[in-house]
Amino acid sequence: MLNNTEKGNAGEEIAVAHLLKQGYQILAKNWRSSHLELDIVAFINNTLVVVEVKLRAGNAYGNPEEFVTQKKQKNIIKAAQAYIIENNINVETRFDIISIIQNANELSLEHIEQAFYPTLK
């Protein structure tokens, strides 16, 4: 049985394979700045894409993307700002979610582009 870290890594590998198949360039996986983390940082069509990956065994308690709370979004945005500054990036940035349901009988993936936006606060 996989622990949460192993499940997260498995979900991220599924997401990376999907993104590569769609033509994305992967710039970073599990990028960290202090206590903040970005699951995947990718690039396509002159756009930096920050991808949060959520994997669940089912949707009995809600779809995986519903677990990207506003607090989580704020932390992703802060981490993205740090990544952009550290790497001197000056292109449009987009925040996506890849929602995966995987169990013994099913593997479904939904790529939600522009899943959330930074707010001015």
CATH number at residue 22: 3.40.1350.10
Show the domain range for 101: 4-116
Q: Quick check: 37 and 80 in contact, CB under 8 A? A: no
pLDDT of residue 63: 80
Which class for 97: exposed (0-12), middle (13-18), buried (19 or more C-beta within 10 A)? buried
Contact (Cβ atoms closer than 8 angstroms) between residue 40 and residue 26:
yes
- Residue 41: predicted pLDDT: 98
Instruction: Please report whether residue 89 resides in a domain.
Output: yes
Evaluate if residue 103 carries a pLDDT over 70.
Answer: yes
% residues pLDDT > 90 (the chain): 69
Residue 60 lies in a domain: yes
Is residue 100, in this structure, part of any structural domain at all?
yes
Evaluate if residue 5 carries a pLDDT over 90.
no
Task: Output 8 or 19, whichever has higher pLDDT.
Answer: 19
Average pLDDT, the chain: 90
* Mean pLDDT value of segment 15-19: 97
Tell whether 47 is covered by a domain. yes
pLDDT at 97 over 60: yes
Tokens of 52: 């949060």
Q: Tokens for 61, please give them.
A: 């308690």
pLDDT for 40-95, tens place per residue? 999 999 999 999 999 988 776 778 888 899 999 999 999 999 999 999 999 999 99
Q: By the 8 A CB rule, do 65 and 110 touch?
A: yes
What is the pLDDT at residue 120?
A: 56
Q: Within 10 Å of residue 100's Cβ, how many Cβ atoms?
A: 22
Tokens of 53: 């990956």
Provide the H-helix boundaries in 44-100: 70-86
